[in-house]
Structure 1
Amino acid sequence: MRIVHVVAAVIVREGRFLLVRKHGTRAFMQVGGKPEPGEEPLAALVRECAEEIGLVVDPAGVVPLGRFSAPAANEPDHVVVADAFTVELPAGFEPEPRAELAELVWLDPADPVTTHPVAALSVDLLAHARS
């Protein structure tokens, strides 16, 4: 198995979690992505939030959640290892799918039924964030 390193933003509003789907994929996942060569995880998170949903993140307000791993949703025979962070949305800010994103959804973790396929890593992150 090959390893893919990423950063992931756990974004919650009114008890619902923001998940996004990239063009040409099925699974919904956290905002985030692969760090550029030499880029620190927090810097990658700030960059990815701006690129993907137009959010300007204040690094001082970001809370590290830890490192998580799961089978990669979009790359067969790969494992994704993510540095995950909690990111707050400013009041009144409405995220919009940008760059490689096709759409976004707000999922309620209390609702056991969803019609959206969710990446394994995101399932784990949502469970961790709820606990």
Structure 2
Amino acid sequence: MQFSLSQLFLAALSCSTALAAPAPASSKSMMVANTQWTIESMKRVCNSADTKCTWTFGIETPSGTTACTYVVTGSPASHANGGPSQCGAYTITSGWSDQFGANNGFTTFSILKSYNSTVSSLKQQKFASSSL
């Protein structure tokens, strides 16, 4: 019995597709109903000694924007954990992770208001001191 290359390819494709298709899982949203927050105009500026980094950003909600200034100190501050710090009704903390290697590190923010929370992360990169 001989098989053509196209027949073998189709047979392999049909097997892999059948095995790769998991049963659909029921989904459950962890989102807070009727709530949307957006972090806008985020910027980080660190001093030349990298002992202090100042983050500025706005927390945009349907009811308006809260302007925030968040300061992290350490050595190096660009890789330090920060907070907790208050910004209006919000509590902000941050953490540094280099779990994927020193050149792939990132900062994770936690912004909490009452029982609602938003978690975001930023890839660590080198930027000019005046912009992020």
TM-score range relative to shorter protein:
under 0.3
Relative contact order higher in (CA < 8 Å, ≥ 6 apart): 1
Q: Which has the higher strand share?
A: 2
TM-score, structure 2 normalization: 0.26
TM-score, structure 1 normalization: 0.26
